[in-house]
Amino acid sequence: MTTAVIRDVTEATFATDVIEASRTRPVVVDFWAAWCGPCRQLSPMLERAAVQWAGEVDVVKVDVDQAPRLSQQLQIRGIPAVKAFSGGRIVAEFVGLQPQAQIDRFFEAIAPSEADRMAARAHALGPEDAEPLLRQALALDADHPAAVKALAQILGDRGDREEAATLLERLPGDPDAVRMLSEVHLAAGALDASGVGDLRIRVKSGDDPARVELGRALAARGDFHEALEELLAAARDPSTREDARVAMLEVFRVLGDDHELVRQFRPRLAAVLF
């Protein structure tokens, strides 16, 4: 029952056409059947909404008679059943025939906000043009994830690390923001070759705190293996253990849990600490 604005999705294409597609923009799925009277009544109302929100919300249909496993997996017990997906998961749903006003409110709740639109437009622009748009987006939604991370990236790249860190601290549960914050912290320890050389001399002379500084400086320029070796050595010293531990965890977050160095050094750090 495909229309110009609503297309059919099958069990075989659901993962791509709904789950993955919803990571770009919301997808509303109408679970229906040809024998269902309320489904036929709901269909033109969904079509009107699909036209109104074209380009911002996609609408698709799934024939439950042709998709029994999918219907069971999603616990479809009555139809019409409408589920909205965003970011790969269900974010809103309703069952049964609804009035047009209720359907409009359903779409309004899942459609991109003005802050979403500004952040999306900024994504296609260079840093100088993107920054004002991102700041406008954050004026509307101070914790907008995409705008926070995009603006923090611009600020960090030009050396405004304090403001970048302040922004990223708004998203403590966002893995990308946590990684970016660690990158900002490590970048604060960046030194030129001469500065790194001076730190090496201080470390050799017995300056224990300088070993942590050296580890951070090495990490800031991407010498992660040597950085972790220096920080691990600093973690063995009670006077620098906590600073070294914090720095190593920041390196781990930047590299990611699956990185070979993280798998190698995490247990070594644990052995030193415990």
Look at the alpha carbons of 33, 34, 38, 40 in this order and tell me if their dihedral is positive or negative: positive
Q: What is the CA radius of gyration of the chain?
A: 26
Question: In a 10 Å sphere around its CB, with 0-12 CB exposed, 13-18 middle and 19+ buried, how is residue 47 labelled?
Answer: middle
Cis omega (within 30 of 0) for bond into 80: yes
Tell me if residue 221 is catalytic.
no
- Which residue, 206, 120, 147, 235, is CA-closest to 215? 235
Q: In what order do the strands lie in the sheet with 27-32?
A: 6-8, 58-63, 27-32, 81-86, 89-95
SS3 of the chain: helix, strand, coil, percent, to 5? 60, 10, 30
Q: What is the DSSP string of 243-264?
A: HHHHHHHHHHHHH-TTSHHHHH
Instruction: Give the active site residue among 21, 27, 29, 36.
Output: 36
Tell me if residue 5 is catalytic.
no
Phi, psi (deg, nearest 5) at residue 27: -125, 125
Structure tokens, 258: 């699956």
Structure tokens, 17: 């056409």
Instruction: Give the active site residue among 6, 21, 39, 212.
Output: 39
Strands (E) across 23-153 are located at 27-32, 58-63, 81-86, 89-95
Indicate which residues carry an active-site annotation: 36, 39
